Amino acid sequence: MAEARDFDVVILGAGSGGYACALRAAQLGLSVALVEKGNLGGTCLHVGCIPTKALLHAAEVADATRESEQFGVKATFDGIDMAGVNAYKDGVVERLFKGLVGLIKGRGITVVEGTGKLVAKNTVEVNGELYVGSHVVLASGSYSKSLPGLEIDGVRVLTSEHALRLDRVPDSAIVLGGGVIGCEFASVWKSFGADVTIIEALPRLVAAEDEQSSKALERAFRKRGITFKTATPFKSVELTDSGVRVTVESGATYEAEVLLVAVGRGPSTTDLGYDELGVAMDRGFVLADERCRTNIDGVYAVGDIVPGLQLAHRGFQQGIFVAEDIAGLDPEPIDEAGIPRITYSDPEIASVGLSEAQAREKYGDANVVALTYDLAGNGKSQILKTAGFVKLVREKDGPVVGVHLVGARVGELIGEAQLIYNWDAFPEDVAPLVHGHPTQNEALGEAHMALAGKPLHAHS
Ligand SMILES: Cc1cc2nc3c(=O)[nH]c(=O)nc-3n(C[C@H](O)[C@H](O)[C@H](O)COP(=O)(O)OP(=O)(O)OC[C@H]3O[C@@H](n4cnc5c(N)ncnc54)[C@H](O)[C@@H]3O)c2cc1C
């Protein structure tokens, strides 16, 4: 075995969590080894956030073309050229990937290509070489889960990775799982012309969101002709001559050309040495405290392997946090509820803070006030012909503790909403702030004005 190489920080996995940690640590003058078996950028850049959002944008263009006449524009929708869509999507990924590689190189980070394993609490082994870190950061990410007895063949039974590589639009698709990833693919495929059925065991789509947001999405999907069956547990799937037949617990069957399995993502933590070295884990997830520290001294964990929201920007922030913690900057722990959540379907859903139900549980029914501002009163939303709302949840006589948005493009509004939540702003603080007109952002201002008792374009 070759001689060990020493670093201030050794990072296992170069996805959102790992590479953000590497960039920040290097910026703070620490020496960094970043171990990656695949591509720098991980799930988010190559098979997650970025390619899916490119597909969703192509879907938006398709819908805009199809529906152009309602804006007085004559256009003909001739169909989807999947090779063209994929070239566009891959081009976006490729450009960002090149940029990231350059950024990492420019910061003097040592990139180690290969599969890493934790062989001592301060050592990662890659291809027989040892990389010793005063600190080790576990950031090995996640994989698409399946269900017992549900075999993925990559042809008719797909994960999101396969779905991203499809060279055609399926005539019909069953999406197993009505969470964020399932709803995003359902939205894309419907816009591309497929018949889509979502099967979800829980009582509602995007069940982690405020109930009102789920209801609004369900209404919109119904209107778009996306079929969904909630409270419908999956039982089995069989391959047919032309595709798949899914049987659910009730005995009902559904047929389609492909089945997308979108039942969540499991932590990539097996055979990486974590267990053997006594890293505290729960069902494969690595347990970390609010400072992202595991039970092993000097070993941190960030991103999807840590229980909580599996989101790229959570990984980024945790990575930055850990680098700063190691550098002795004593950063403030991240408030998990303050992390914005967005589903990029049509319509979009965005939220930050507590749902109304969570707020009622935390503060008591009498101490929660909720207000919904309908986008029907918002000029820009009417111009875009989108429906939806801004819902605010506040602690009575206290700050805004939850913001929930539904409608086209509302994901872009979550920036202001997260400042309001994370800065403990009262509706009375936001109401006097001036929002540009006509913007969708204005709807946030209007909602806060209404909650502060001085509604403008809203019925009181
Ligand atoms: C279809 C889809 C859409 C998504 N859309 C969004 C979105 O719009 N917004 C959002 O915020 N999040 C989205 N996500 C989630 C987001 O991609 C993840 O939360 C994020 O990538 C997690 O970052 P991570 O660093 O924890 O793990 P990953 O990005 O999974 O990175 C882990 C890295 O570790 C490497 N690795 C693992 N084991 C080893 C080993 N033994 N040796 C060396 N390297 C190893 C892997 O190759 C990988 O590159 C989406 C995910 C999917 C699947």
Q: Is-contact 44 13, C-beta < 8 A?
A: no
Q: Is-contact 192 169, C-beta < 8 A?
A: yes
The CA 45 to ligand 1 mean position distance, Å, reads 8
Number of compact structural domains in the chain? 3
Question: Is 189 found in the same domain as 296?
Answer: no
Question: Which residues pair with residue 402 across a beta bridge?
Answer: 353, 393
Whether 252 maps to a domain, the answer reads yes
Q: Is-contact 231 201, C-beta < 8 A?
A: yes
Nearest partner of 47 among 263, 346, 350, 265, judged by Cα:
265
Residues 6+ apart with CB under 8 A from 418: 338, 339, 340, 352, 403
Ligand 1 within 6 A of 351 CB? no
Nearest-CA residue for ligand 1 atom 7 is 49
Residues 6+ apart with CB under 8 A from 333: 290, 291, 321
Strand order of the sheet with strand 244-248? 234-239, 244-248, 253-256
- Listed residues 263, 294, 327: the one ending a domain: 263
Q: Which secondary-structure segment (H or E) carries 407?
A: strand 400-407
The CA 315 to ligand 1 mean position distance, Å, reads 9
Whether 460 maps to a domain, the answer reads no
Q: Is-contact 414 342, C-beta < 8 A?
A: yes
Q: Which amino acid is at 453?
A: G
- Phi and psi dihedrals of 125, rounded to 5? -100, 130
Question: Is 277 found in the same domain as 258?
Answer: no
Q: pLDDT at position 1, please?
A: 56
Give per-10-residue mean pLDDT for the chain (460 aa). 86 98 98 98 98 98 97 97 98 98 98 98 97 98 94 97 98 98 98 98 98 98 98 97 97 98 98 97 98 98 98 98 98 97 98 98 98 97 97 98 98 98 98 97 97 87
Domain that holds residue 86: 5-144+266-336
Atom of ligand 1 nearest to the CA of 310: 19
Which runs of consecutive H residues, i.e. helices, occur in 107-133? Answer: none
Ligand 1 within 6 A of 455 CB? no
Ligand 1 within 6 A of 318 CB? no
In DSSP notation, 375-401 reads: GGG-HHHHHHT---EEEEEEETTS-EE
User: Which residue is it, tokens 């078996």?
Assistant: 37
> Strands, E, within 114-257: which ranges?
116-120, 123-126, 129-138, 142-144, 157-158, 172-176, 195-199, 227-229, 234-239, 244-248, 253-256
pTM of the shown model: 0.98
Nearest-CA residue for ligand 1 atom 9 is 49
Question: Is 134 found in the same domain as 12?
Answer: yes
The number of beta carbons lying within 10 Å of the beta carbon of residue 103 is 15
Whether 152 maps to a domain, the answer reads no
The CA 141 to ligand 1 mean position distance, Å, reads 5
Please report, for the domain that includes residue 178, its CATH number.
3.50.50.60
Question: Is 192 found in the same domain as 101?
Answer: no
Q: Which secondary-structure segment (H or E) carries 370?
A: strand 368-374
Question: Is 203 found in the same domain as 84?
Answer: no
Ligand 1 within 6 A of 17 CB? yes
Task: State the catalytic residues.
Answer: 437
